[in-house]
Amino acid sequence: MNRNRLQEIIPRLVLSPSMALILIFVYAFILYTFYLSMTDSRMLPSYGFVGFENYEKLWNLRHWWRALTNLAIFGALYIIICSVLGLFLAILLDQKIRGEGFLRPIYLYPMALSFIVTGTAWKWFLDPGIGLENTMHQWGWASFEFAWIKDRTLAIYTVVIAAVWQSSGFVMAMFLAGLRGVDSEIIKAAQMDGASNVTIYRRIIIPMMRPVFLSAFVVLAHLAIKSYDLVIALTGGGPGQATELPATFMYSYTFTRNQMGIGASSAIIMLVMIFSIIIPISIPN
């Protein structure tokens, strides 16, 4: 009897440290940050309650709108290009390619790198003075110009270029696993009916990959909203505020501009953005 009761308690006892850590470090932290977002905290947390004043200030900041606009541009292009490129490469690799085992790791290895490493490499590659532009000049293409990274309106697209390089191989792997999971009987039946390869992909296989599209979307959207390291390493948010994203905005307002209240409110907005993507998608499952 005694032993049985112990056996009943042990599982919960084992789970409890993790649960306690997550309740504190995730859920209590969210509440605390939410509370801070309603206070007059500047350099340090302070508890003078100001209601939604910080949110009002936040939404009146040009800098914040810039960060949101950049996120919209970056996020949309990043998700679309990674998905299209990933699916395209997966379909090509799925054509019984010799050397698939050799190509796949080449497409995927950037995922193993830190965004700081990626940023360091691409910053240099995109630098007109020593990178691609310079190389083209050396090869005799004197009129070649590629200085997006120095351009206030185009710099955000360089973040897309580097981020796509890093993540598209991973999306390819997700789609490839999805393609391999498609029942070959269905494909054979369609071939017997005389359907062409293009039709089979367009009408049968790609529609069956809906769940993979959804997973890729969730993963990429949440990576996009959290993007921080890559911008820091690639452009530092500049030139000016040209590549500022919500994550870099939050960091600089909280820790360098001593506007912790506003920083906290921007973190809450980021959380709301992610949860409004994750929760509707994951609840039906």
Partner 1 sequence: MSAEKTAGVSGNRLARAAIYSVLIVFAVYYLLPLYVMLVNSVKPLDEIRQGNMLALPDVFTFEPWAKAWSSAQVGVQPTGLKPYFFNSILMVVPAVAISTILGALNGYVLTKWRFRGDDLVFGLILLSCFIPFQIALIPAARILGLLGIAGTTQGLVLIHVVYGLGFTTLFFRNYYAAFPTELIRAAQIDGAGFFQIFRRILLPSSAPIIVVTVIWQFTNIWNDFLFGVSFGDFDSQPMTVALNNLVSSSGGVKEYNVHFAGAILAALPTLIVYIVSGRYFVRGLMAGAVKG
- Contact positions with partner 1 (CB under 8 A) in 234-263: 236, 246-247, 250-251, 254-255, 260, 263
278 is an interface residue for partner 1 by CB under 8 A: yes
> How far apart are CB 82 and partner 1 at their closest, in Å?
12
107 is an interface residue for partner 1 by CB under 8 A: yes
118 is an interface residue for partner 1 by CB under 8 A: yes
106 is an interface residue for partner 1 by CB under 8 A: yes
73, 103, 195, 204: residue in contact with partner 1 (rule CB under 8 A) = 103
Output b/e per residue, 74-96; b: 16+ Cβ within 10 A.
bbebbbebbbebbbebbbebbee
- Contact positions with partner 1 (CB under 8 A) in 25-54: 25-30, 32-33, 36, 45
Q: Rank residues 138 and 153 by Cβ distance to partner 1 and give the closer one.
A: 138
What is the chain written as a DSSP string? Answer: -HHHHHHHHHHHHHHHHHHHHHIIIIIIHHHHHHHHTTB--SSS----B-TTHHHHHHHT-HHHHHHHHHHHHHHHHHHHHHHHHHHHHHHHHTTT-TTHHHHHHHHHGGGGS-HHHHHHHHHHHH-TTTSHHHHHHHTT-TT----GGG-TTTHHHHHHHHHHHHHHHHHHHHHHHHHHTS-HHHHHHHHHTT--HHHIIIIIIHHHTHHHHHHHHHHHHHHHHH--HHHHHHTTT-STTTT--HHHHHHIIIIIS--HHHHHHHHHHHHHHHHHHHHHHHS--
55, 78, 115, 201: residue in contact with partner 1 (rule CB under 8 A) = 115
Q: How far is the C-alpha of 116 from the C-alpha of 228, rounded, in Å?
A: 10
Binding mask 174-213 for partner 1 (x = CB under 8 A): x--xx--------------------------------xx-
266 is an interface residue for partner 1 by CB under 8 A: yes
- Contact positions with partner 1 (CB under 8 A) in 56-85: none
Q: Rank residues 142 and 153 by Cβ distance to partner 1 and give the closer one.
A: 142
> How far apart are CB 172 and partner 1 at their closest, in Å?
9
Strand-pairing partners, residue 49, are 39
38, 68, 93, 159: residue in contact with partner 1 (rule CB under 8 A) = 93
Candidates 53-61, 89-97, 151-159, 201-209 — which segment interacts with partner 1 by CB under 8 A? 89-97
- Contact positions with partner 1 (CB under 8 A) in 132-171: 132, 134-135, 138-139, 165, 169-170
> How far apart are CB 271 and partner 1 at their closest, in Å?
5
Q: Rank residues 176 and 242 by Cβ distance to partner 1 and give the closer one.
A: 176
